[in-house]
Structure 1
Amino acid sequence: MRGREEPAPPAIGALAAATVTSCPTGHPAYSQTLPREARSAAVARRLVRTALTVWGLGSLTEDAMLVITELVSNAVDHGRLPWIRVIVSRPYSNGIRMGVVDRSRTVPAQSDDSSDDRLRGRGLVLVDTLTREWGTELYRWGKQVWAELKEDEA
């Protein structure tokens, strides 16, 4: 199911205090707290690119750069506190899960009105197109919007 909302796992509160670590699989593999500013998208892209390079998943780089930029942009626009957290994990040998955590409980809505002339607000359509799956995990104090990408299986 795409764009689904699901409850958070019990240990998710530990993510706010997590440090950057590197491992082949697991949650989180890479994470970083960033200012809730537009320029943080560039730092998030570097974090994702580093993870993909280390894991040998370079074929996902182009799509992952677009997706993480959209997720960070949404958190910058709609978050409440001055920081966000970017998480990149490898739940599959051939794929990643990227997430952006913020302190807003507002669930992002995908605009599917193709006749809409707005310049912004359709980023989740792009996320939906490029990813295997995406969704929102709600927490008592905020949310994580996440997206998964996988290499094609041969």
Structure 2
Amino acid sequence: MRPSFTDPVEVQMIALTKSRPQGRGPGYCQELPAARQSAEAARRLVETALSLWHLECLTDAGILVASELVTNAVTHTDSHRIRIAVRRTGERSVRIGVTDTAPMPPVPAVPAATLSTNGRGLLLVNALAERWGTELHDSGKEVWAELLSEPFQ
């Protein structure tokens, strides 16, 4: 679906998407408003990057991880803006990170016996990622997850 250039939020999201070095390997990042709707933009960024890198096998896990990390940043912090970055860390691996302004690392929920649909984001990230963690910065933190594809046959 092509973006509508009459929507100022969509134009702003497009303007802030940049391809730039993200440490080791190529990467893409996007600054977004801290709003639930930003999860969709994050999913599109991850899906596009994985397609460009021919790592479509990671798409389902990647868009779910991005969605959960963005949702956590929006729900559990008072950030006004967040930043998503996806970086290729190896031939078969990518790192997806979401930066917000909250100084405290996230606390994974304890698995409950109830059928609650809330509080399981980091449990999903843990199940899908090869590894994940948090890096604290002067202006907040980045919660990241590294995904690894199966070896190429």
Instruction: Let me know the Cα RMSD of the aligned residues.
Output: 2.1
Residue number in structure 2 paired with 1:31: 29
1:49 counterpart = 2:29: no
User: Which residue type is aligned with residue 85 of structure 2?
Assistant: I
Structure 1 residues 100-109 or 111-120, which shifts more? 111-120
Aligned partners of 2:123, 2:63: CA distance in 1, in Å? 15
Percent same amino acid at aligned positions?
Answer: 42
Aligned partners of 2:54, 2:17: CA distance in 1, in Å? 22
1:122 offset after TM fit, Å? 1.1
Residue number in structure 1 paired with 2:65: 67
Runs (4+) off by over 4 Å: none
Aligned partners of 1:42, 1:113: CA distance in 2, in Å? 26
Residue number in structure 2 paired with 1:140: 138
Secondary structure in 1 matching 2:19 = coil
Within the candidate set 56, 59, 77, 1:58 is matched to 56
User: Which residue type is aligned with residue 151 of structure 2?
Assistant: E
Larger relative contact order (C-alpha < 8 A, sep ≥ 6)?
1
Q: Tell me how many residue pairs correspond in the alignment.
A: 137
Q: Does the 8 A contact of 1:131 with 1:149 survive in 2?
A: yes
TM-score, structure 2 as length reference: 0.82
**Ranges in structure 2 where 5+ consecutive residues have no aligned partner:** 1-15
Q: Does the 8 A contact of 1:133 with 1:147 survive in 2?
A: yes
1:119 offset after TM fit, Å? 2.6
1:114 counterpart = 2:112: yes
Residue number in structure 1 paired with 2:89: 91
1:124 counterpart = 2:122: yes
Aligned partners of 2:91, 2:143: CA distance in 1, in Å? 22
Residue number in structure 1 paired with 2:19: 21
1:116 offset after TM fit, Å? 4.3
Q: Does the 8 A contact of 2:95 with 2:146 survive in 1?
A: yes
TM-score, structure 1 as length reference: 0.81
**Ranges in structure 1 where 5+ consecutive residues have no aligned partner:** 1-17
Q: Does the 8 A contact of 1:99 with 1:144 survive in 2?
A: yes
1:81 offset after TM fit, Å? 2.7
1:38 offset after TM fit, Å? 0.3
User: Which residue type is aligned with residue 71 of structure 2?
Assistant: S
